[in-house]
Amino acid sequence: MKIIKEINKNLKIPILFISHSIEEIIFIAEKIIIIENGKVAAQGSIEEIISYKKLSHFNSGNTSYSLIKGIIHKHDKTNANTIIDVDGKKLITKPISDKVNSNQIIKLFSKDISIATKIPKNISINNILETKITKIKTLKKSGIAEIYLSIGKQEIISEITLFSLKKLKLKINLKVFALVKAISIVGK
């Protein structure tokens, strides 16, 4: 993958790259065209396409995840981490070698996002984001609920049990806290 990206970058040769892997596409591409049922559904830069509703949530096998955009806010050498700004919210991740203000695509697995109705205290999870529930999708056969949460203009999905959905009395427009246990940066 890195070789293809370097060829494009160094020789400035346009490359047509066809893939079903969003990670590959985002890693290599500068412009993306989404084709659905033989027709162009969307096209534009990575930043424009990442917010395309049908693209923002993927299913990797049975594990759903969300893709969101962020910008490196700063590198914290004291604590050996990088802080990424996502629509005014800060996410802490392991150190990234990219420069401050560089764009990042963040992958969040829905199983790695818990929900709390109050800010938890004395917890090891560093990424606690105030969000609002925009949609609830129940998957009764599997006993799971997908909770769609807004982060600024972007959206992530948390996967919780139906038991937790009832216990927390979650509903649309309720402000909650997303506890993000793990973050991965696409292409890193």
Domain ranges of the chain: 1-55, 56-70+106-182
Cβ count within 10 A of residue 178:
23
Inform me whether the pLDDT recorded for 116 exceeds 60.
yes
For residue 65, the one-letter residue type is: Y
Judge whether 27 and 186 are in contact, CB under 8 Å.
yes
> Does domain 56-70+106-182 sit in CATH 2.40.50.100?
yes
pLDDT score at 151: 93
pLDDT in tens, 44-76: 877 667 655 555 545 555 568 888 899 999 999
Task: Render pLDDT for 121-156 as a digit per residue (tens, 0 to 9).
Answer: 999 999 999 999 999 999 889 999 999 999 998 999
Cβ contact 57:134 at 8 Å: no
pLDDT digits (tens, 9 = 90+) for 68-112: 899 999 999 999 999 999 999 999 999 999 999 998 989 899 999
Contacts of 22 (CB under 8 A, 6+ apart): 55, 58, 67, 186
* Mean pLDDT rounded to a whole number for the chain: 87
- Asked if the model's pLDDT at residue 188 lies above 80, the reply is no
> Contact, 8 vs 17, CB < 8 A?
no
Per-residue model confidence (pLDDT) at position 52: 56
Say if residues 108 and 181 touch (Cβ distance below 8 Å): no
